[in-house]
A and B are shown apart, each in its own frame.
Chain A
Amino acid sequence: MSLAIRTEGLTKVYRGVTALRDLELSIEQGDAFGFIGPNGAGKSTTIKILATLVRPSGGVAEVCGINVQRRPESVKPLIGYMPDVLGIYDDMLVGEYLEFFAAAYRIRGQARRQKIEEVLELTDLVEKRDAAVMGLSRGMGQRLGLARCLLHDPQVLLLDEPAAGLDPRARIEFKELVQELRRMGKTLLISSHILSEIGEMCNTIGIIEQGRLLFAGPIDEARKRLGTERIVMLRIVEDAEDNRATTALMELFRGHPDVEAMKPGAPGEVFVRIRKDLEDISFLARDVVRDGLQLVHMEETALSVEDIFLQVTKGQVA
């Protein structure tokens, strides 16, 4: 599959301060790439370079195989850029705002009107067409920003902190919108602080700190590489106040050759650390049932994006 975004040795220095250092990034077409890192890590700088807004100090950045620095005019129609602020013009209505940018993307006449209708419907903003842009809520504003990005049907969407400041409902709606865009075959680069949502929206991630890319790749691969231990959560029925069943469960696996450690959780819950190379873990359920304990739930806990981020930014991955 061809690459939608590629950077090689990308560097940006602002008045002696290195914001980005030798960034190597490869994002395939159709991927949803979650770009995570603390404040000032270089996420927005990377996105702005890809959006042709910032000139890199060194290295190469390409969008769909086109050099961003050499041919910015060819790159612009391919990208939809959504910054962390809405970027409003006061005294404009939603319809005017979209018309303004449609004209900027040289969409004219009937095609312009049609395109505006399409994006208004996609982002569920038809009712807000005559509302003032300044009066929109944060969630509505983000939708409008996305509508603006989609006007010229770009192949790559660069979304800088799109979910910041959204209430829970707006976040869910925004997530659904992103899923819809993925189904449409768009490539998305999403920077965010809300790591749990990156895990749900993206299939690949990049972790950046102090301008250096610490990890980039599929989330599953990150889990495999970073998952130094395997933990299985077992939940049984616990009636007694003295946690008799839980104690019995812990006693059951104490000294088991495949179990490395155990830790009680809430009443009736035990977290069992098993050997990393173990293929078959069905013995856990079998032994519990055989011992007469009532098993309710059993689940191997996967590393969350937060766990991956914390591990990576601790310097555990070179």
Chain B
Amino acid sequence: MALPGLLRILLVPFLWAWDVAAGMRAVMERDFLVFTSQGRFLAIRTAAVVIPAIVVAAVLMNKAGATPDSIGKSVLLGATVTVPALVLLLAPALSAGAIAGERSTDTLDIVLAAPVRPLSFVLAKFFSRLLVVLVLVFASLPISSIALVYGGVSVGLFLEATALALGFAVFGVAAGILTSAYSRTVGGAVLGAYALVLLLPALWLAGVALVFSTFFDAVPGDVALSWLALSPYFAWVQTAGSIMGIGTATSGGWLQLAVAAIGAVIVLIVATARISRESATRARGGGKRRRGKHTMFLDNPVIDQAVRGSLLRRPRMPAWLVLAVALIVEALILWAAFEDGADDWELHVIALCVITTIASFQVLASAAGAVASERKSGSLDLLLATPFRYGDVTFGKLCGVLLGVVPLMAIGVIHGVVALPATEFTVQALCAWLAVSGVVLTLFAGIGMRVSIGAATPGRAVLKTFAIVFGGTVLHLVGLFLVAIIVGGGDDEIFLYITASPALLMWMAPMFVADMAADAGSNSSNETVLAASALWTVIWGIVGGHLMARAGRALDRSRDDA
């Protein structure tokens, strides 16, 4: 009798694993096969091949006549810069809808009611999306392996560069799954995933650098470097340096893959715990019940609805997260600035531009979901059947979206005012930052709103809006890269071109104004850039205003296809 009992105990882990795998299979098959059969997958896969191919082709054109070793290094460098960037851009968007999408369409209940363990569900979601991203990474391998044909790079370094891309894929998908497990909407999950992917490594870099520089001056440089190498961004730069023969021979690609894998395991545990809790809460029929007197924001229901969830009105988790990130960035930069004893303006402008970047994420996500989420829940028709005109609705929503970032911008203003007397940071720079930020945020709100009006679901609206703004910026940079390589041109021309992108303009314009004001003088180059920035600020202001003004008409036109 003892033997069967012992056998049973020994078999338990295998039976459990079998059960988990069986649960995974159904969800994974559905997710992976459905996604890969869609037209957008073909488009993304094509982009994953075409964009690195364009970069590599540009490198080959530029390197005509160079030694094979030099060409090989440049090709691998081009691929190493492009592929992880594409992965960082795509992975959060592809994975963030995995669980939040099921929640928003009420299919999560159905899945959780089936005999599928939360762990199976989360694992299936993770691996199905990771597989999609891996297909994209592997699709670009033939392009980057051209480097091996030319030589100049070892197979080991090539594999390290590939491991870096794989690490980015695991990191991006894990971030998407984590925010997806906590977010009620796909839009919120996408926003959170991008915030994690873009800001977490930067915060790590800033934080580690600050801690080591402040407290651990005696710590050997290697130790500090090891800590810094845990950030994907550092490893990215390190890999690029290794390819070009700068820095260490090892690039940290494998380390990144290992760190991302450990992070993914933690994420999977946290996400599983969250889904298990959710499943238990639903089984109990739980739900929050609030009491209290209701007050309406500005006594306007449209604005009231639009600012809900932001810091101004019943803040939800994403709003608190955004505030926390902004305050951490502020604290780190202020600390660094005053610890260093420097009175330079750079750190303060960077802090303000980080605030604008965070605010622009929030504006894009909120504006993109503004109309689409109402359409999905069926409340849009109810609102449009009231005496509100179409223009009233879109204007109210846009006001709400922009009001939602006022607390963030206020943090920036306070920072600027505090920095004014103590540093070279000037009133002109603060005003330039406010003006350009206002214009860019208005433009982004207008773009998000127009996409939202035509979108069937908020998830699609958010993805499309981010694709337009960030995809446009990436294409702009690729174009800039090609122009610089093929046509050439001086700094003036390059800066003129850079400021045409709203996402870059919101960083460049305050920088130049602050630089000029601090130098208390100007040269022709600065004047050209300033004029270009002013011109593009006016142009984007007009475009943003036009988008906002015509949003009501666009919503009215949507009645034809309602």
Contacts and interface: CB of A to CB of B under 8 A. Distances in A.
B278 to A, nearest CB: 15
A91 B559 contact: no
A53 B559 contact: yes
B8 interface: no
Contact of B386 (A54, A104, A132): A104
Nearest to A80: B385
Contact of A91 (B308, B383, B562): B308
Contacts of B184: 90
Contact of A96 (B294, B316, B377, B559): B294
A83 interface: yes
B377 to A, nearest CB: 6
A79 interface: yes
Interface in A263-298: none
B187 to A, nearest CB: 13
A103 B381 contact: no
Contact of A54 (B294, B379, B387, B559): B559
Contacts of A256: none
A15 interface: yes
A170 interface: no
A54 B562 CA distance: 6
Contacts of B291: 130
Interface string A113-147: 00000000000000000111011000000000000
Contacts of B287: 132, 134-135
Nearest to A55: B559
Contacts of A51: 381, 385
Given A103-B300, A104-B301, A73 B560 contact: no
B12 interface: no
B284 interface: no
B388 interface: yes
Contact of A87 (B288, B296, B381): B381
Given A76-B387, A130-B290, A131-B289, A100 B378 contact: no
Given A55-B559, A87-B381, A100 B305 contact: yes
Interface of B: prevailing SS: loop
Interface string A44-87: 00001001111100000000000000000100110101010111
B384 A53 contact: yes
Contacts of B305: 89, 100
A161 interface: no
Contacts of B309: 91
Contacts, number: 92
B30 interface: no
Given A51-B385, A87-B377, A90-B377, A132 B301 contact: no
Given A89-B305, A103-B296, A83 B378 contact: yes
Interface residues of A, number: 38
Contact of B389 (A73, A86, A99, A100): A73
Contacts of B383: 104
B304 interface: yes
A85 B381 CA distance: 10
B294 A93 contact: yes
A81 B377 contact: no
Q: Which among B291, B385, B389, B561 has the greatest number of chain A C-beta atoms within 10 A?
A: B385
B360 to A, nearest CB: 25
B352 to A, nearest CB: 32
Contact of B384 (A52, A79, A96, A148): A52
B387 A77 contact: yes
A101 interface: yes
Contacts of A88: 377-379
Interface in B523-562: 559-562
B561 A14 contact: yes
Nearest to A129: B291
Contacts of A99: 294, 296
Given A81-B382, A91-B308, A106 B301 contact: no
A54 to B, nearest CB: 5
B237 to A, nearest CB: 43
A146 to B, nearest CB: 13
A34 interface: no
Interface of B: 184, 287-291, 294, 296, 299-302, 304-305, 308-309, 314, 316, 377-389, 559-562
Interface of A: 14-15, 48, 51-55, 73, 76-77, 79, 81, 83, 85-91, 93, 95-96, 99-101, 103-106, 108, 130-132, 134-135, 148
Closest 3 CB pairs of A and B: A85-B378, A87-B378, A104-B386
Given A85-B378, A87-B382, A103-B299, 14 more contacts: A48-B381, A53-B562, A55-B560, A81-B381, A83-B381, A87-B380, A88-B377, A89-B379, A91-B314, A99-B294, A101-B386, A103-B300, A103-B301, A108-B299
